Amino acid sequence: MPPACRWGILGTANIARKNWKGIRLSGNGVVAAVASRTPERARQFIAECQSEVPFEQVPTPVGYDELLASTDVDAVYVPLPTGVRKEWVLKAAAAGKHVLCEKPCGADAAEVKAMVDACRAAGVQFMDGVMFMHSARLPLLRKVLDDADAVGELRRVTSQFSFAADAGFLGGNIRVSGALEPLGALGDLGWYNLRFALWVMKFQLPEAVVGRVLNEYATDGRPVPLEFAGELFFPGGVTGSFYCSFRTELQQWAHVSGTKGAVTVEDFVLPYHGAESAFVVQRPHFRVRGTSFQMESHPTRYAAAEASDGREDAQETNMARRFGELVLGGKPDASWPEMALKTQLVLDACLKSARDGGRAVGITG
């Protein structure tokens, strides 16, 4: 039997259920242990996940420190709240555990740099949990963007990621807690907007950004963004914009504009349910013939064959498999922590701009 990456899940957040399944389907990983603040909660989480997607050997319920001390765990997935994440990532690195970290990785870039540096010093892998980075759609999209005849020279990248939270969400969800999730919608949703823009730009940082908090909310005296908009100014004249919100109905679209055409991705974060992930290249023509003024649509649809979720080829499974390969291969890939740190740097600058009345804030890597 081939070797497997032995995972520990550090926390029982709901998103961990999806990654439990991704690990199970990866073909190179097993969940060895699950940690929670109480043994009862860890046992309940394990029982519920095992009933749907079972491992041959039932994972062990443990406490946080016990999980990190375990010799049966190679890597930890950390879905703990952002406000306490740094402490446990640093402890995991000190214990020699590879770290898959939920996003936003930290409250600010200083925290993320500390995590990245600790993992580098310990010789372990650090990666953030952005699943779409592992979709089969991205290589196809990159090929189209690099095709000079498809989109032409890049000019603009825009995106929106939002959902309309109900009163119950605002009353009790940790994503509006200033202590636990100080970045609010900007951290929870805007991380994806910024990651997509940076990916399109091949991780070239913007020279400057402008941000606006359009709406905020406080449950504990520390307001967090509920709705945020930002502008990105890249070298060479390429610009970007993004909008993220807990106040607008579910949307997750991205648009890339060039001198010859444009690309629209309707579901850049979570592929719509089905067996493929797609995007459309539009190269419209405007024709004038006497009194006739015609705008013609000339779309080309591209699709990558992959399950939207919960299958061996879904993006969350690909993420678990890729991380497992890095762990088993023994050679950490420095590009993943670099992507996470750059995303946090841009996010920080956007929030700094917003807190300073929308003043443009420069970025240096």
Does the N-terminal peptide bond of residue 104 adopt cis geometry, omega within 30 degrees of 0?
yes
What phi and psi values does residue 136 have, to the nearest 5 degrees?
Answer: -70, -15
Report the CATH number at residue 125: 3.40.50.720
Render pLDDT for 80-138 as a digit per residue (tens, 0 to 9).
999 999 999 999 999 999 999 999 999 999 999 999 999 999 999 999 999 999 999 99
CB half-sphere exposure, 21, CA atoms < 13 A: 17
Looking at the structure, do residues 143 and 73 belong to the same domain, yes or no? no
Looking at the structure, do residues 159 and 300 belong to the same domain, yes or no? yes
Looking at the structure, do residues 154 and 183 belong to the same domain, yes or no? yes
The β-bridge relationship of strands 29-35 and 60-62 is: parallel
Instruction: Give the pLDDT mean for 227-239.
Output: 98
Q: Sheet of 262-265: strands edge to edge? A: 299-305, 276-282, 262-265, 247-258, 154-164, 239-245, 224-233, 208-217, 361-362
Assigned domain for 184 exists: yes
Looking at the structure, do residues 191 and 109 belong to the same domain, yes or no? no
Assigned domain for 71 exists: yes
Among 132, 157, 173, residue at a domain's last position:
132
Instruction: Give the pLDDT mean for 26-45.
Output: 96
On whether the CB atoms of residues 263 and 151 are closer than 8 A, the answer is: yes
2 pLDDT above the threshold of 80: no
Q: What is the pLDDT of residue 30?
A: 98
Three-point CA angle 33, 34, 38, nearest 5° = 130
Looking at the structure, do residues 140 and 75 belong to the same domain, yes or no? no
Report the CATH number at residue 263: 3.30.360.10
Looking at the structure, do residues 117 and 226 belong to the same domain, yes or no? no
Mean pLDDT in the chain?
96
Looking at the structure, do residues 69 and 140 belong to the same domain, yes or no? no
Assigned domain for 326 exists: no
293 pLDDT above the threshold of 70: yes
Q: What is the pLDDT of residue 220?
A: 82
- H/E stretch holding 248 reads strand 247-258
Assigned domain for 146 exists: yes
Q: Which sign does the torsion angle of CA 123, 9, 222, 349 carry?
A: positive
Q: How far apart are CA 275 and CA 188, in angstroms?
A: 26
Looking at the structure, do residues 275 and 300 belong to the same domain, yes or no? yes
17 pLDDT above the threshold of 80: yes
Q: What is the pLDDT of residue 116?
A: 98
Looking at the structure, do residues 110 and 160 belong to the same domain, yes or no? no
Structure tokens at 340: 């996470």
Assigned domain for 221 exists: yes
Looking at the structure, do residues 147 and 76 belong to the same domain, yes or no? no
Assigned domain for 76 exists: yes
Looking at the structure, do residues 224 and 253 belong to the same domain, yes or no? yes
Among 106, 132, 158, residue at a domain's last position:
132
Q: How far apart are CA 292 and CA 308, in angstroms?
A: 43
Q: What is the pLDDT of residue 167?
A: 87
Looking at the structure, do residues 198 and 285 belong to the same domain, yes or no? yes
Q: How far apart are CA 198 and CA 205, in angstroms?
A: 7
Alpha carbon distances (Å) from 316 to 26, 129, 270, 306: 9, 9, 10, 11
Assigned domain for 323 exists: no
Which domain, by its residues, includes 148? 136-313+343-362
Instruction: Give the pLDDT mean for 251-271.
Output: 97
Among 132, 164, 198, residue at a domain's last position:
132
Of the pLDDT bands very low, low, confident and very high (cuts 50, 70, 90), residue 1 is: low
Render pLDDT for 302-353 as a digit per residue (tens, 0 to 9).
999 999 999 999 999 999 999 999 999 999 999 999 999 999 999 999 999 9
User: Looking at the 3D structure of the chain, how many domains does it have?
Assistant: 2
Assigned domain for 182 exists: yes
